[in-house]
């Protein structure tokens, strides 16, 4: 007999996952995370100075409010996990005590393919030799913009070897996939199979109306055994302005549905430095997290 209702429900969830086809090592199929939706929430973390690069080229617009650093953005949003992505080479390596802020977070994932100087191999060395020994909350490595044409798959990078090294350090490998830029191409299959987790993004906010169908397509494309995070932009970088209230609400409605039926494993809110803005997209996101954060995944 089960001691608690929570134990009973947890066993039912595990049994359901097993019936759906089992689970990869390193906790695929959502088992890496806890029971609540909040535990499955991430921020897409950038240095706050990157707010100046949040506008189309030659734009005269300015950032409409305060910025915050990554851990503070997580705190303000009520999000426990952060993807540490060094867009614009910020913070520049070596970064002094910049990483001390991340001790307060439950999990961090470090970008090994991002906008910072250095090769993937060099960033893996930093992750394994410098970050992991000091931050036991490092749980993974992230490949940002991996499939973008300019990167050409990081120019011949053997992702199978990268994944083996990451896994040897008991970390997970995650990758970015853009619905409206990369698409779901057959040649991506091998590299996606090497990753434990795919994050799906909609770069243009006018493509959010395709989210309901494209998320389903992505789930079918990567298969049922892979973790899938849905990226939610609060700022439209193509327009240089916050995502509209209508479009943000549409994203959050889709997120709720796909968390309930386990199509997606979790969410990533983007960007961290926008967390202090007094705009509808940020306020709606915070309200949504407060309302549903303690709900169980898959309910």
pLDDT tens, residue by residue, 246-255: 999 999 999 9
Tell which CATH architecture fits domain 27-292.
Alpha-Beta Barrel (3.20)
How many Cα atoms are found within 13 Å in the side-chain-facing hemisphere of 135?
28
Query: pLDDT digit string (tens) for 195-246?
Result: 999 999 999 999 999 999 999 999 999 999 999 999 999 999 999 999 999 9
Residue 108, strand partner residues = 82, 138
Q: Is 31 exposed, middle or buried (0-12, 13-18, 19+ CB in 10 A)?
A: middle
Q: What integer pLDDT is reported at residue 22 of this predicted model?
A: 32
Q: Is 125 exposed, middle or buried (0-12, 13-18, 19+ CB in 10 A)?
A: middle
Listed in sequence order, the residues at least 6 apart from 118 whose beta carbon sits closer than 8 Å to its beta carbon are: 93, 126
Distance of CA 145 to the CA centre of its chain: 12
Query: pLDDT digit string (tens) for 133-156?
Result: 999 999 999 999 999 866 655 667
The rounded distance, in Å, linking the Cα atoms of 78 and 69 is: 14
Q: Report residue 15's pLDDT band, with 50, 70 and 90 as the boundaries.
A: very low
22-36, 88-102, 131-145: the lowest-pLDDT one:
22-36
Percent of the chain with pLDDT over 70: 88
């Amino acid at each position: 007999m089960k001691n608690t209702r929570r134990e009973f429900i947890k066993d039912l969830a595990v049994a359901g996952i097993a019936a759906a086809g089992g689970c990869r090592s390193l906790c695929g199929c959502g088992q890496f995370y806890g029971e609540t939706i909040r535990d499955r929430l991430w921020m897409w973390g950038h240095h706050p100075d990157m707010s100046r690069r949040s506008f189309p080229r030659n734009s005269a617009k300015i950032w409409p409010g305060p910025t915050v650093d990554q851990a503070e953005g997580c705190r303000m949003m009520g999000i426990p996990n952060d993807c540490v992505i060094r867009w614009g080479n910020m913070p520049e390596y070596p970064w002094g005590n910049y990483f001390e802020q991340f001790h307060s977070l439950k999990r961090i994932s470090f970008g090994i393919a991002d906008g910072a100087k250095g090769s993937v191999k060099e960033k893996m060395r930093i992750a394994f030799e410098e970050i992991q020994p000091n931050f036991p909350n490092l749980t993974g490595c992230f490949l940002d913009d991996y499939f973008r044409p300019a990167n050409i798959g990081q120019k011949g990078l053997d992702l199978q070897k990268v994944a083996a090294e990451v896994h040897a350090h008991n970390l997970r490998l995650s990758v970015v996939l853009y619905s409206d830029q990369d698409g779901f191409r057959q040649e991506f299959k091998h590299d996606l199979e090497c990753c434990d987790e795919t994050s799906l993004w909609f770069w243009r906010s006018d493509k959010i109306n395709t989210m309901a169908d494209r998320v389903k397509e992505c789930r079918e494309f990567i298969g049922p055994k892979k973790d899938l995070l849905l990226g939610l932009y609060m700022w439209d970088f193509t327009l240089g302005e916050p995502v509209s209230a209508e479009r943000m609400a549409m994203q959050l409605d889709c997120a709720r549905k796909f968390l309930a039926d386990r199509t997606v494993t979790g969410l990533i809110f983007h960007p961290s430095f926008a967390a202090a803005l007094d705009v509808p997209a940020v306020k709606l996101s915070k309200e949504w997290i407060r309302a549903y954060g303690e709900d169980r995944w898959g309910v």
